Structure 1
Amino acid sequence: MATIADWLGAGCLVAGAVLGLAAAIGVLRFPDALSRMHAATKPQVLGVLLLLLGIMLRLRSPADLGMILLVAVFQLATAPVAAQMIGRAAYRSGRLDRSLLDADELAERGSGTGPAGPA
C-alpha cells in the first residue's frame, strides 16, 4: 500500500511542478496584465495544491498533514485576493486594454481614480 501512495505522491509532485512551470511561462509570455494575472493564479494554485497533496502522500505524519492542510487553506485564501488586487491596480493605472473586457463594471460605478477621473 505504501508503494502505491509513493507513486501517486510522485505523480502529484510532477504534475504540480509542470503546472508551476506553465504558470511561470504564462507570466513571461502573455501580453497584458489580465492574462498574466490569470497565469499567475489559476495554474499556480492548482500546482501548489498538487505539490502539497504529493507531499502529504509521501510524509503521512499527522503533524505534517496538519501543517500542509494549513498551507493549502492559506494558499486558497490569499491567491484570489491577490489576483483581484492586481487586476484592480492594473485597471486603475490604465495598464490594460479595456477593449478586451467583456463587461466593465468599474467604469459603470465610477471606480474612484483612473483615466475617467474621480467619481
Structure 2
Amino acid sequence: MRIVLSGIFISGGLFFFMVGTVGLLRFPDMFTRAHSAAKCDTLGAMLSLIALVIYNGLNIVSLKLMLIILFIWLTNPTATHLIAKARYEQEVNNNEDI
C-alpha cells in the first residue's frame, strides 16, 4: 500500500512539474511565466517529497524531508514574488525615462 500511495504522489508531482514547464514555454510574458513556475514547482516538489516521506515511513529522514517541504513552501513563493516585483519596478522605471 505504501508503494502504491507513493507512486500516486510521485505521479502527481511529475504532472505538476510538467505543467509548469509547459507554462514556462507557452505563456507570453515574465509575470505569467513566474506564476506558472512558482505554483507548479512548489506543488510538484511538495507532492514528490510527500511521496518520499510515505515511502520511508516515520524516521529521522522523514522529519528532514518534512522540514524541506516547509522550507520550500515558505521560500519559493517569496522568491517568485520578489523577482516579479523587481521586474515590475524595472519596467516602471524604464517607462518614466521616456
Amino acid at match of 2:96: A
1:93 is displaced (CA, Å) by 1.8
Moved over 4 A (4+): none
Task: Please state if 1:15 is matched with 2:12.
Answer: yes
1:74 aligns with 2:71: yes
Distance 1:28 1:70 in 2: 31
**What value does the CA root-mean-square deviation take over the aligned residues?**
1.4
Structure 2: how far apart are the matches of 1:12 and 1:86? 29
1:89-104 alignment to 2 at 5 Å? 89-94=86-91
Q: Which has the higher contact order (CA 8 A, sep 6+)?
A: 2
- For 1:27 and 1:58, locate their aligned partners in 2 and report how far apart those are by CA, in whole Å: 31
Displacement after TM superposition at 1:61 (Å): 4.3
Among residues 2, 6, 11, which one is paired with 1:5 in the alignment? 2
CA distance in 2, matches of 1:80, 1:44: 10
State the partner residue of 1:58.
55
Between structure 1 and structure 2, the one with the greater Rg is 1
Structure 1 SS opposite 2:96: coil
Mapped pair 1:116 → 2:96: yes
Output the CA distance in 1 between the equivalents of 2:90 and 2:38. 21
Q: What percentage of residue pairs aligned between the two structures are identical? A: 25
Q: Distance in 2 between matches of 1:40 and 1:10?
A: 23
